[in-house]
Every structure is written in C-alpha cells, then in structure tokens.
Amino acid sequence: MSPMRAAAFCLTLLFLLSSPDDKDVNYLQLKAAKLSGEAASVTNLSLHRDGANFDFSKGDFFFLEPVLGKVPGAVFIGDGQFRMVPTIDIEKKNLSIFTNEPSIGEPFTELVLHFTDNTYDEILKAAAARKEAPNSKAQSSLESRLDLLRKGRVTARPYANSSLLNSNLAARLLSDLYDPAHAGFFNAFIKGKKFSQLMFRVDPRGVPSFEPEEVILASFDDSTMGVWNAFHLKDHYRNEVADEDHRLFDVQNQQIEVTIKGTELSAKVRTTIQVLVDGPRVLSFNLFPTLRVTKVADEDGREVKFIQEPKDEDPDLTLIYAQPLKKGTARLDFEYAGPGAIENDGSGNYTLAARDNWYPATTFGDRATYDMTFKLAKDLTMVASGQPKETREEGNLQITRWTSEIPIAVAGFNFGRFKKSVSKSPSGYEFESYANTGVPDMLKPVEQYLTGTFSTTSLMDKARSEAEVATGIYNTYYGPLPYGRIAMTQQTAPNFGQAWPMLVYMPITSFFDATIRYQLGMQTASDFFKIVGPHEVAHQWWGHIIGWKSYRDQWMSEGFADFSASLFAHLIYKDEKFLDFWKDQRDDLLQKNRFGVRPVDVGSVTMGYRIDSAKTGNIGRNMLYPKGAFILHMLRMMMFDSRAGGDAPFIEMMHDFVKTHFNQNVSTEDFQKIVDKHMTPDMDLGKDHTMNWFFDQFVYGSEVPRYKLDYTLEPQGDKTVLKFRVTQSEVPDSFKMLIPIYVETQDRKFSRLGSAKLFGKSSQDGAITLGFKPRRALLCAYDDVLAIIDGR
C-alpha cells in the first residue's frame, strides 16, 4: 500500500469508527463518492478489459477515497481512446447500428471508473501517486455520472434498461469489498467526443437483466440510447463454457401475510433461501420502491442491516450481513408497508401495479413455493396464484389463504368488487372468471355518450370458455398442466394481458361486447380480442412450466404463446382467421416503422428487448412475438406428415420438450437439442443430422428469403400435369430451405404436394401429375415459411 493510500485509509477508519449513522458505514462512504486527493499523471497507458481497451495518451487520474483499504474508483481527465470489437458476430451487427462499423474507436476526454479488480494497481505501476487538493472538475464529473444512475428511474429514457439506470452502484461495490474472493467488477462512464454518455461494464456476477452475460456497452444519450452490446467473458467462448449461474442465492419458499387497506399494502414475509456460494455478505432483492422496509431479521431473530434509498434514488433493497454466509439454507423475515403498489381505479376496480415485486423477489423465474394470506375489506373478492385453502371473515375483513406446493416462477393476485363464475372440465380442471360490477373512473366520462353499457359481467363466461377450449388444445399439443385451476380476471388496463401461474390478467376491453368496442374506435382490433385470452392461457406452458434462462431465450415464451394462439384460431375460427393471423405476423416483421426500420432486419430474436433503441424505436414486441411464433410454425409445417397423423411428429416433439424440462428455465440451445432429436430425414438439409442450418438462419440470423413460383397446368385426358419452377433469391449462398408447394382445389381447399429443396440463389424445376384440375398452384399456402412470395 502506498504511503498516501495508507494515510487516507487511516482517516477513513477514524470516520467509520465515529460515524453515528445506523446504516453500514462503508456503504455510506461509497455512496458519498468523494475524491481522496490522491492523483497520478500518466502517458501512454493501456488498460485491457474483456473485449475492450482503454488507451490513455496523456492525462491525470484522481482517485476516490479508499474503503476497507481498497480504492474503489477514479476519474480520468485528459486524452484517451476506448476501443472494442465484440466477441460474437450478432453483437458486431448490433454495434454497427450505432457506429456504422462492427467495432468502436471512441476518443474521450473524461472517464469515470468504479472497480474492485486490480485497476488501481495497474495505474500506479505506470505512474507515481501524489497528494493534492481534490480536483473540483473531477468531482463534478463523478457526481454527474452517478446522478445519471440515481435519477434514471424518474427520467424518460424509453430505450435504456431500467436495471442499468436504477442500479445501486455503491451497494454493488460493497458486495465485492465484503467478499473479495469474488471481486472483479469494472465500470467505466465514457465521455466521448462523439458519444458523450457511454457506459462499459464487466461484472463477473452477471450484469443485471443480462445475466449470465458479464460484459455490456450501453449509451444513455437521448440520440443513441440503448444497450449496444452484451456478451460473455472471452473465456466463455474460448472454452465453450455452458451458461454460468452467477446467483449468490436461490429463493426456496415465501410465506406472505398481506393486509390491504385502500391502496396501502403492509406485509410480513418469511423467505427461505438457499445460499449457493460461501462468502457473500450483501444480498439484493427486488421490492416495489414505495413499499418501505421497517425490519429484516435472520432465522435467529437477529436484525439484518438493510439499504433502501428513497424511491427515486437507488431504491433497491440490499441486505448486509454482519458475517459472511456459508452455503446452505437461511431464513429472512421482512416487514414493510406503503402506498403505490396498488392503485384504486374507482367503483371497486383495483390494479396491482407491483406485479412481480409486491414481495421481496429476485429475478422472474426464480421458482419457489408460496403460502400467502390476504386480509382485505369483506365486500371485495380476492383471487391469487396457487390453490385456495381458506376463506373466512374476521370483523370487517375477509381473510383468504392460497398455497402453491409446486414451485412457481412468480406469484400474483387480483381483487375487486368481482362477480365470479366457475366451470370444471371432465378431467376436473377448474376454470374461473372474475369481472367487476362497477365502471372504472377512466371510462365514466365517455359512458354517457355510448349506446349500451360498460358491463363486463355479461361476457365473463366467454373468457372462461375460451380458457377451457384453449387449455384442451394445448394439453393435446404440449401435455397437461399440473396446477388444477386457472382464473381469467379483469384488469383495468385496456390494451394488454398478462399471465401469472393460475392467474390471468385480461384487459377490461376484452370483456366489452362488440358494440361498445366499435363505439370506442376499436373495430380494427377485433382479431386481438379473439386471441388475447388464448395467448395468455398459453403462458401457463410458455413462461411458467417452461421458463427462459436469460433475456436471450425470452423469445420462446412470447413467440410460442403467439404460435399457440394460432392453433386456437385455426381450430376454432378455421382457415380464414388462421391465414389472417399469419399475415398480421408477417406484416409486423416486414413493415418499416417510423424510424425506417423493419423489425426482422435488426437482429436475432436472441437479442431480446435489447433491440429497442433510439436508432430503431420500440420494435422488440414486433420482433419477438411474430418471429418466435414463425420459428415454431415453420418447424411444425416441416414436420407435418399426412401419412403419419398430420401433426403427430410435432406433438411428440413438443411433449418431449415439456417433459424433459418440466418446470425449468431453458435456453435456446436446450430447445434445439429437442428439435435435433425429432427432426425428420427431409429436414436434414445440412447433412449433419442437426438443425444448425435452420437455427443459424431464422433464430440467430435475420434473412428473409424471396420466392417465386412459375407454373403451368396442362390437361392430359382426365388428369392435369403441374409443371413448375420455384426460385429462391435475396439470400446468401449458404441459405437453404424446404418450400412447400400447394394446389387449391375447386372447393377452395389447400392440398400440399411436396416441397422444393433450394440452396442459395437457385431454382428447382419439376412436374407433378394430378388426378384433378386445381384452381391454382401456390407456395406456402399456410405461411409455412417466413418469406416474401411474389404474386401473393
């Protein structure tokens, strides 16, 4: 340790020993983020971090005050350059959206660093430290960058992931300082000459919302906002490491007691966790910012220190243990209360705003068992995830208890002045529907101008019936659900649904009749209302029984739920609505938005919602849902065999997928292994007995082929000869595909004759003798391939 650093450390110790604050004093010092007065001048210094280089031509480093003997950061003022080439190709493509190159070389004049790795020692190897008064310009730069994170929650930044803008940087640093065996964090705020608000981060524990990936590059500037790159440490690719599990702990069980009074929610929660590694002292939970914690205790009743900053500034709930934890089971008791998690929408309508963090949680998909008790006014009806175990009254309160012995990815509830209807399938599965008897405040101003009423209870049986029919279809295609019940519940939100285990939040407009929706100008959304319920029901499989390992795999949840809705549309509304469905999906992908961007062109579905940015707009939804649906639809159509039971091979594959990974989070690679196992001989276009060719093109790639069919129908006695040429274009030479050829019969039915097999830019000629005269020949009658087809 340098003499100046030792002196600063002694001063720090005096401050810590004399601090009267009941919060962790080391956290307070990290939060204060003050420069120590230690500085160093450098010339021609390079710092190499995974995937990036920081080249410092000339300038000065100004260091932060040490904490626990470790300098946690520095500010550089001078001249330098940030250089990075992403490790993987799809990230190079995404970077080029912002830089017009597959790499970045950005000159900078200021750099704010935070670290728990060996950055400080590397700098002092190149320059001697000196002592001087803290530099005011460096201190100002430091504070402005930290303010960017602290104030992000209340700033309109639609394309930057909230976890980056809201993360408590001081708490993250403290975690490593208390557990140095797992340290290695590095974060750089880069004030570049062209891009003024870049952030590069390496976090060996995984970057929040991008776990398990450890490296990101993001911009917080309004014109270039977005997460430009995210990828693993180089060793992951070099050694072909499976996706790492960076979690410090896993939630096993939640016992929750909630009291609701108006919009005030108070709770006592007992959380059982499994500590996964030795050494951590700092654990982070996700709790709605306005729910303020008053007490946290461990299994022995000892109070555990916690951090919960004001709701608009780093409100993450962070626990600090007095001693390092060991692997094994631990228990925590939380007490908290506050407004805001519940909204009163009027006339007995309520909204749970804190959908997935009304209790201390980690990440969506961390499966746990639940035992939940709710107390609320007895004129209201509660419905929740799990099995109803008890309902009783106590004074003016109604008390209900719900349990889930099957670990579930998330738990939720809905309540209001509900009317309830119930039915049971022959198998005993229970279907419930809940609709409110009162009109929410947002609709009252227009109610007087409409013919009819806003009654939602008249169509509540439709929601329940759709759920029952959809569940029957999906049971056939994917296998049965284990939950025993599902509740279709009205929410005030008019334009989206959401599905938690055993609990579906349906848009209030789905409970309106067609006359009311027409008067509200929603006539063009009629198809949405036909499938929103079946889509949400499908999430019981895709999102809950089968979850996603990381944001790169979320496309399966939304895409497979959308695909499932197409099965419902086909079986219930027949060909017309089925074809309309796939036309809408194709249009969502191929139509340019106001930024002049087609969603399908931006990148792979494995980019997740990261494809949203200031350069592309909010295109994530119009990419993940339809592209994910098309991927599964194309596999289904390739596997369809009228001689082997039609969908039987596809159904066998999907049952295997669900059974193999039942109640697990899966990766895209896990899904491909199942597809490889069940692929038909005709699907082996790569001649390697895998579906690599298909996943490379449609999952990881962004090509959209163009097809043209030229044909003649020549009579030969009582037969007809179809002579055809199928042409594939606008693809690279490596592109390959099976293109189904259909004829339409005189009674307007489609009959598949076979498939052309095309490689690169090429054509295939053929002739087929038919025993009838068709109306016409066509390609991909059921949108079998995501493609542009001439003459469609």
**With contact defined as beta carbons under 8 Å apart, do 579 and 783 qualify?**
yes
Q: How far is CA 56 from CA 42, 47, 109, 295, 371, in A?
A: 7, 8, 10, 47, 56
Q: Which residues pair with 373 in a beta bridge?
A: 257, 401
Q: Which residue has the tokens 């220190």?
A: 305
Q: How far apart are CA 221 and CA 218, in angstroms?
A: 9
Report the C-alpha gap between 60 and 514 in whole angstroms: 68
* 643: exposed, middle or buried (Cβ count in 10 Å: 0-12, 13-18, 19+): exposed
pLDDT of residue 462: 92
Contact assessment for residue 187 and residue 113, using Cβ atoms and an 8 Å cutoff: yes
Which residue is it, tokens 């579905």? 605
What CA–CA distance (Å, rounded) separates 738 from 744?
Answer: 19
Query: How far apart are the C-alpha atoms of 296 and 333, rounded to whole Å?
Result: 5
Q: What is the pLDDT of residue 159?
A: 57
The pLDDT of residue 12 is 38
H or E stretch at 674:
helix 668-678
User: For residues 233 and 240, what is the distance between their CA atoms, to the nearest angstrom?
Assistant: 11
At 129-166, the pLDDT tens digits run: 999 999 999 999 999 888 877 655 433 345 555 555 55
Q: What whole-number distance in Å separates Cα of residue 435 and Cα of residue 461?
A: 10
Q: Collapse the DSSP code of 28 into the 3-class scheme (helix H, G, I; strand E, B; otherwise coil) and give the result.
A: helix
The Cα 311–Cα 496 span in angstroms is 27
| pLDDT value, residue 150 | 67
The distance from CA 705 to its chain's CA centroid, rounded to whole angstroms, is 28
Q: Which amino acid is at 108?
A: F
Distance CA 740, CA 384 (A): 46
The structure tokens 């009311």 sit at 516
CB 627 within 8 A of CB 620: no
**What is the spatial distance between Cα 787 and Cα 708, in angstroms, rounded to a whole number?**
11
3-state SS class at 249: strand
Which residues of the chain are under the pLDDT cut of 50? 1-21, 153-157
**Rounded alpha-carbon distances, angstroms, from residue 284 to 177, 257, 718:** 15, 21, 76
Cα angle 83, 173, 214 (rounded to 5 degrees) comes to: 45
Q: Which two tokens stand for residue 792?
A: 């469609």
Distance CA 728, CA 19 (A): 73
Write out the H or E segment, with its range, that includes residue 42: strand 35-49
pLDDT at 151: 56
Q: How far apart are the C-alpha atoms of 773 and 776, rounded to whole Å?
A: 9
